[in-house]
Amino acid sequence: MSTPHKRAMEAVLEAADLDIKAALEERGISDKHSEEADDTILDVAILHAWRIFVRINEAQGLTVDPGLFVDLASELAEDMAEDREQ
């Protein structure tokens, strides 16, 4: 991974970390190892992925397709689940 890519990834992760902390606080979740915390972290991760998907599509002059995002995310989740089973 190139240096600019590493910096960009670090910036995205820092933003997600701040959003996760804020979301946990807003929801009154103090146990970071609870199912509620897991759900909150997943919500933030999906929201960040959606924002990135939208920005990439817009930068490429493409129409943003929420259905495509859902399909791709579902396929990725299935692939990852299969990889873990092996």
Please determine, for residue 84, whether its predicted confidence score (pLDDT) is greater than 90.
no
Contact 46, 25 (CB under 8 A): no
Structure token pair of residue 58? 């817009």
Q: Which pLDDT does position 86 carry in this prediction?
A: 82
Mean pLDDT value across residues 5-18? 92
d(CA 52, CA 74): 17
Nearest of 39, 34, 40 to residue 21 by alpha carbon: 40
Mean per-residue pLDDT of the chain: 92
Tens-place pLDDT, residues 38-71: 999 999 999 999 999 999 999 999 999 999 999 9
Q: What is the pTM of this model?
A: 0.78
